Chains A and B, each alone.
Chain A
Amino acid sequence: QKEVEQDPGPLSVPEGAIVSLNCTYSNSAFQYFMWYRQYSRKGPELLMYTYSSGNKEDGRFTAQVDKSSKYISLFIRDSQPSDSATYLCAPLPPNAGNNRKLIWGLGTSLAVNP
């Protein structure tokens, strides 16, 4: 089993739709969960991250972690064409030190159609 599973899509939605992007992970020790957005031919940019279980909201984006089911979600409200990108979930292992390596999902390709 891969450490992080993410449906690559593509996911196509109309403008204004609520988008749900999801990941599952296998290591119950993960505590930080990052969501990155990557536009075509660009480096990823950190959207938001959550620690342990719970929700975190930032504007139109809400990140949700359910550690009991090892399930991570990112919701985008009122989706815009500019949200069209690949969204990558990346848990951060809990081992100490600055060399901690992000564990990357495959990324979900999202297209928001005007």
Chain B
Amino acid sequence: GAVVSQHPSRVICKSGTSVKIECRSLDFQATTMFWYRQFPKQSLMLMATSNEGSKATYEQGVEKDKFLINHASLTLSTLTVTSAHPEDSSFYICSARDPPGIRNEQFFGPGTRLTVL
């Protein structure tokens, strides 16, 4: 199957700092990438959908100024958590969908565990 990587896998930061998480599709071009957040014992919560070269579409209740998403190329999307606070501590997972007409499947990265002190 296709491979999606995330970096870093784990980050600990102080309250008020910004954290950038990278998501890369390694062996396919992803026109669409998704960013999720997952709290312990809960399901995945979609935060936003990003399409290469255009602005991300955020889900209701997700602050776009706090969670900055950039999808500058067909293989890279970044999520920046600005001015992070302890309540932002969570497991952030990206996924990438290969273009329509190929497999049209959604492949997930390994996740990034963010801890804000």
Contacts and interface: CB of A to CB of B under 8 A. Distances in A.
A45 B110 CA distance: 9
Given A98-B32, A101-B34, A43 B43 contact: no
A88 interface: yes
Interface residues of B, number: 29
B111 A88 contact: no
Contacts, number: 50
B109 A43 contact: yes
Contact of B111 (A41, A46, A99, A101): A41
Contacts of A99: 32, 49, 51, 57
A5 to B, nearest CB: 11
A8 interface: yes
Interface of A: 8, 34, 36, 41-46, 49, 88, 98-99, 101-102, 104-107
